[in-house]
C-alpha cells in the first residue's frame, strides 16, 4: 500500500485514479477536505477494496502515527498543500501551517515508521514530495528555464512556504537518511481542477457569460503540464527516482496567460458556441496581483534523460481534453461553486473591477 496525502485535491485525485488504473496496489488517502478537496473526484472508486479514505490533517501527528501503524505503507506521496498564490496573499497563515508545519509533521511520522521497519522494507521505503517550479522565483524573457540546481528565490507566501517544505525534505534525508525524492512541477491543468485557477476559472466564467479577468497585460508566461502527464511522471519517479534527488517536471509548453485565455475561448466557440458571439469578447484586463512573477519555465531534460519520461500530450491536445471534460461535467462544476467559492471570487476580483 502507498499513502497519498491530499488525494481529494486536483492533482492528488488524478494521481489516485491513474495509480489504480495502472496497478492493483492499494492506496490510503488522507485529506482534510478543505475548500479544494472533493471526495466526488474519486466517486468512481466507491466499493473498490483497493482504496481507503481517511479524513484528516497532515498536522495531526497522532492520526498519522495510527495510520502508519495500521496500514504500514511502503511509500508516501505527499500532495497535500495550500496552493493558490492569490489566497496566500490574502491569508498566508494557512499556507505556513499546512505546507510547512504539515510537511514537518508528516516527515517526522514517516521517519518514525521507517526507522522501525525491517532492513529490507526500510531500504525499499520512499517519501516522495510533490512541489512547484515557483520556488525558483521568476525568469526574465531570455533566461534559461529552471533546472534542478537553480537557487531558490520564492516571491509569494505560497512559493516561500513550498520552498520551506522542500528544504525540510532535503534536510530529513541528509540528517536522518530518510529516503526522499522531490518533484517540482510547472502549471498543471486538466479534469477536477478547482475553478480558482486560470484555466477552469476562464471556462466557468465564459459559460456564465461573466468577465474573463486577466491580470495586468496578460503576458506573464507559464509552462503548462497536463495533469495526467504529471501523474505518470510522479509514478515513474516513485518507482525509479534516485534517493535524495530532485526532478523538474514540465510540459515544454511556455505560453503567456493571454494566449491561454484566447485558446480556451476559441475551443468554447467551437464546442459550445453562444448566440451572443465569441467568448473572447468577455476578456477583461484587471489590475495585477502584488509581486506577480513574470515568467516560469521548466527544463525537464533530467527526468527525460534519467528516467525516460516526456509528456504524452501536446498543449493543444491536453487543453482540448480539459475543455471537453468541463463541458461534460456541469453537475460537478455546479456543486463545487458553493457560497464560499463565490465569496472568494468576489473578494479577489471585485476590487479589481472584474
Q: What is the pLDDT of residues 161-170, one digit of tens each?
A: 999 999 999 9
d(CA 202, CA 216): 16
Local confidence band at 353 (pLDDT 50, 70, 90 cut-offs): low
Q: What is the pLDDT of residues 229-256, one digit of tens each?
A: 999 999 999 999 999 999 999 999 999 9
Backbone angles phi, psi at 123, to 5 degrees: -70, -30
> Distances in Å between the alpha carbon of 15 and those of 36, 117, 135, 169, 197?
15, 26, 22, 21, 19
Least confident of 174-183, 214-223, 338-347: 338-347
Give me the pLDDT at residue 349, please: 53
Instruction: Say if pTM beats, i.e. exceeds, 0.85.
Output: yes
Antiparallel, parallel or unpaired: β 283-286 and 212-215:
parallel
Q: What is the pLDDT of residues 257-283, one digit of tens each?
A: 999 999 999 999 999 999 999 999 999
Give me the pLDDT at residue 352, please: 57
**Segment holding 271, helix H or strand E:** helix 257-271
The yes-or-no verdict on residue 44 having pLDDT over 60 is yes
Antiparallel, parallel or unpaired: β 254-256 and 221-226:
antiparallel
Give me the pLDDT at residue 161, please: 98
Query: Average pLDDT over the chain, rounded to whole?
Result: 94
Segment 205-222 mean pLDDT: 95
Q: What is the pLDDT of residues 132-143, one digit of tens each?
A: 999 999 999 999
Cβ partners under 8 Å of residue 143, min gap 6: 295, 297
Give me the pLDDT at residue 76, please: 98
Cell 492520526 belongs to 63
| Strand partners of residue 221 | 256, 295
Residues labelled as active-site residues: 133-134, 158
**Segment holding 132, helix H or strand E:** strand 126-132
The yes-or-no verdict on residue 340 having pLDDT over 90 is no
The yes-or-no verdict on residue 125 having pLDDT over 80 is yes
Least confident of 13-17, 95-99, 194-198: 194-198
Give me the pLDDT at residue 196, please: 84
Domain residue spans of the chain? 2-189+225-251+292-312
The yes-or-no verdict on residue 129 having pLDDT over 90 is yes
Is the sign of the CA dihedral 29, 31, 35, 36 positive or negative? Answer: negative
The yes-or-no verdict on residue 339 having pLDDT over 60 is no
d(CA 166, CA 151): 12
Query: Are 145 and 299 in contact, with CB atoms under 8 Å apart?
Result: yes
Is the sign of the CA dihedral 166, 169, 171, 177 positive or negative? Answer: negative
d(CA 3, CA 72): 9
The yes-or-no verdict on residue 40 having pLDDT over 80 is yes
- What architecture is domain 2-189+225-251+292-312? 3-Layer(aba) Sandwich (3.40)
**Segment holding 31, helix H or strand E:** strand 27-31
Local confidence band at 348 (pLDDT 50, 70, 90 cut-offs): low
Amino acid at each position: 500500500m502507498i499513502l497519498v496525502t491530499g488525494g481529494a485535491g486536483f492533482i492528488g485525485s488524478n494521481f489516485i485514479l491513474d495509480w489504480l488504473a495502472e496497478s492493483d496496489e492499494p492506496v490510503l488517502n488522507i485529506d482534510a477536505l478543505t475548500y479544494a478537496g472533493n471526495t466526488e473526484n474519486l466517486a468512481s472508486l466507491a466499493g473498490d477494496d483497493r482504496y481507503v479514505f481517511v479524513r484528516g490533517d497532515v498536522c495531526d501527528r497522532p492520526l498519522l502515527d495510527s495510520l502508519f501503524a495500521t496500514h504500514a505503507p511502503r511509500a508516501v506521496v505527499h500532495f497535500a498543500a495550500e496552493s493558490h498564490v492569490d489566497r496566500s496573499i490574502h491569508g498566508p497563515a494557512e499556507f505556513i501551517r499546512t505546507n510547512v508545519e504539515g510537511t514537518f509533521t508528516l516527515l517526522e511520522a514517516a521517519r518514525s515508521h521507517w526507522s522501525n521497519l525491517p532492513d529490507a522494507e526500510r531500504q525499499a521505503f520512499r517519501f516522495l514530495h510533490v512541489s512547484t517550479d515557483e520556488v525558483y522565483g521568476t525568469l526574465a524573457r531570455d533566461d534559461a528555464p529552471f533546472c534542478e540546481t537553480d537557487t531558490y528565490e520564492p516571491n509569494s507566501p505560497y512559493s516561500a512556504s513550498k520552498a520551506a517544505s522542500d528544504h525540510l525534505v532535503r534536510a530529513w534525508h541528509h540528517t536522518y537518511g530518510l529516503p526522499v525524492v522531490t518533484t517540482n512541477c510547472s502549471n498543471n491543468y486538466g479534469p477536477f481542477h478547482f475553478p480558482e485557477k486560470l484555466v477552469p476559472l476562464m471556462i466557468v466564467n465564459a459559460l456564465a457569460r461573466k468577465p474573463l479577468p486577466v491580470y495586468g497585460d496578460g503576458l506573464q508566461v507559464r509552462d503548462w503540464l497536463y495533469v495526467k502527464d504529471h501523474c505518470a511522471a510522479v509514478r515513474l519517479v516513485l518507482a525509479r527516482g534516485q534517493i535524495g534527488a530532485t526532478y523538474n517536471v514540465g510540459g515544454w509548453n511556455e505560453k503567456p496567460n493571454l494566449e491561454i485565455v484566447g485558446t480556451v475561448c476559441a475551443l468554447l466557440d467551437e464546442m459550445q458556441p453562444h448566440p451572443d458571439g465569441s467568448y473572447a469578447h468577455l476578456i477583461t484586463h484587471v489590475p495585477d496581483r502584488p509581486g506577480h512573477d513574470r515568467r516560469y519555465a521548466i527544463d525537464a531534460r533530467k527526468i527525460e534523460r534519467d528516467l525516460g519520461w516526456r509528456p504524452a500530450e501536446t498543449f493543444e491536445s491536453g487543453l482540448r481534453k480539459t475543455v471537453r471534460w468541463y463541458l461534460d461535467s456541469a453537475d460537478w462544476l455546479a456543486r463545487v461553486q458553493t457560497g464560499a467559492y463565490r465569496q472568494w471570487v468576489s473578494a479577489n476580483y471585485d476590487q479589481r473591477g472584474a
